[in-house]
Amino acid sequence: MVHLGSFLLLCSAVHGFAAASYIEYSTVAGYFLQDDNATNATTFDYTATNFGLINQSYPTDPANCAPLTQWQRFAMHVAALNAQAPRNVDYKLLFMGRHGEGWHNAAESFYGTPAWNCYWSLLDGNGTAMWSDAQLTENGISQALKANSFWLSRIHEQKIPTPETYYTSPLSRCLTTANLTFSGLPLPPKHPFIPTIKEKLREGISEHTCDRRSNKTYIHDEFPWYEIEQGFSEYDELWTGVTAETSSAQDLRSKQLLDDIFSSDRSTYISFTSHSGEIASILRVLGHRTFPLNTGAVIPVLVRAETVESCAPSSTVSDASTWTPSPHCTLPPVTSISGGANGGCVCTNGAAPVLTTLAPAPTQ
Ligand SMILES: *[C@@H]1O[C@H](CO)[C@@H](O)[C@H](O)[C@H]1NC(C)=O
Ligand SMILES: *[C@@H]1O[C@H](CO)[C@@H](O)[C@H](O)[C@H]1NC(C)=O
Ligand SMILES: *[C@@H]1O[C@H](CO)[C@@H](O)[C@H](O)[C@H]1NC(C)=O
Ligand SMILES: *[C@@H]1O[C@H](CO)[C@@H](O)[C@H](O)[C@H]1NC(C)=O
Ligand SMILES: *[C@@H]1O[C@H](CO)[C@@H](O)[C@H](O)[C@H]1NC(C)=O
Ligand SMILES: *[C@@H]1O[C@H](CO)[C@@H](O)[C@H](O)[C@H]1NC(C)=O
């Protein structure tokens, strides 16, 4: 089992021998509509609002800025923030995209969330649709192609700074979404679309089969030009089908993901292709307001990262031993109710919902 809490132990291990340091993240508000409490995430359309970049002037605007677009002036502003920042402070813009609709999303709508959570999500599919490591639906493909057209329009109309590096979750719906979103764009030859697959960008790991990833060989065969990070295991060692990652364990690995990228990647503009739950977790770590993304939506976040020369403040170590099982039914529920005890699961013939009867599925 991969130990998600290891960096805390490392820090205490070196304490007293060398100066340990940690990175403190914050969201710089005032540039994007999504940072503003008044923006309604449910109805927000990133394609109708220039990715949410607020129309305004910056103190760094050149005297005659008429020919420059908002994104060009924003890029100059971010360059100035970095140039003026102390050595231990970095500003980066993360474009975080949620995958387009997958078969698991369609099935959750089809069955309703309680019945989905209590029963259907634990199966690989229902005979007509498959949702273990779900693929995109037609609608999901359209959402990714819409993101592609929108990027193209931003490149032409706004001369937007395109990502210098790309990272994606290893789940199929993200591998495909990233490909459809960034293929065929006039990207600078210096920064081609060659994403790196990161285990820690995957969705919160529930018992649902849509959270179990495929093996490395299969991923490589499907997307042979993608990079796979060092240490990526052949089989999924995290998904058990029995217990689910808690949100504090997820936030800890999101922090580890950011630490990894912020300490190794000098790019200012970075793309993540990930999931609703994982992007929500990254937003918590960044101190961004809650901003749920619709399938296929993208949120830019200007991040300030400050390296602090001291051991990280200790927090509860949230390793895999803190993962919890969720109640479920072994036959389709007769009824299910939102909320309430047992996750709303009301099983056939009044059977009590069970916690851990599922054997971990053999990795394949
Ligand atoms: C936005 O809302 C949060 C939560 O309600 C609140 O804590 C925060 O102060 C608000 N921010 C602004 C700028 O109003
Ligand atoms: C956001 O929009 C949705 C859909 O129109 C609406 O139901 C919800 O009440 C709005 N939220 C807020 C905080 O205004
Ligand atoms: C900024 O202005 C342009 C046109 O002047 C408009 O199309 C765009 O939606 C505006 N952006 C925002 C975030 O208000
Ligand atoms: C299986 O689920 C899909 C939704 O993902 C639904 O469209 C289809 O009708 C379901 N099949 C059966 C046999 O219920
Ligand atoms: C990647 O996207 C391109 C452009 O949409 C498409 O032609 C190609 O088939 C995709 N490749 C895979 C493996 O999905
Ligand atoms: C990897 O996964 C694919 C697709 O599920 C499967 O066909 C293949 O046998 C697996 N390979 C290994 C080495 O387990």
Per-residue pLDDT of 267-300, as tens digits, reads 999 999 999 999 999 999 999 999 999 999 999 9
Residue 99 appears among annotated catalytic residues: yes
Class of domain 2-101+136-324: alpha beta
Residue 203 appears among annotated catalytic residues: yes
Residue 64 C-alpha to ligand 2 middle, in angstroms? 40
Q: Number of H helices and number of E strands within the chain? A: 9, 9
From the CA of 362, the nearest ligand is 6
From the CA of 40, the nearest ligand is 2
Residue 320 C-alpha to ligand 4 middle, in angstroms? 33
Q: What is the pLDDT of residues 101-141, one digit of tens each?
A: 999 999 999 998 888 988 999 999 999 999 999 999 999 99
Q: Of all protein residues, whose CA lies closest to atom 6 belonging to ligand 3?
A: 49
Q: Give the predicted TM-score (pTM) of the model.
A: 0.91
Our measurement of the distance from residue 249's CA atom to the centroid of its chain's CA atoms, rounded to an integer in Å, reads 15
Q: Which atom of ligand 6 is nearest to the CA of 363?
A: 14
Q: Is residue 37 lining ligand 1, measured as CB closer than 6 Å?
A: yes
Annotated catalytic residue, options 108, 164, 199, 203: 203
Q: Which has the higher per-residue pLDDT, 172 or 327?
A: 172
Alpha-carbon distance of 16 to 136, in angstroms, equals 50
pLDDT computed for residue 303 by the predictor: 98
pLDDT computed for residue 238 by the predictor: 95
Question: 223: closest CA among 184, 260, 180?
Answer: 180
Q: Which atom of ligand 4 is nearest to the CA of 137?
A: 5
From the CA of 153, the nearest ligand is 3
Q: What is the pLDDT of residues 210-234, one digit of tens each?
A: 999 999 999 999 999 999 999 999 9
Q: Which atom of ligand 1 is nearest to the CA of 37?
A: 1
Angstrom distances, CA of residue 145 to CA of 77, 165, 290, 357: 30, 20, 26, 41
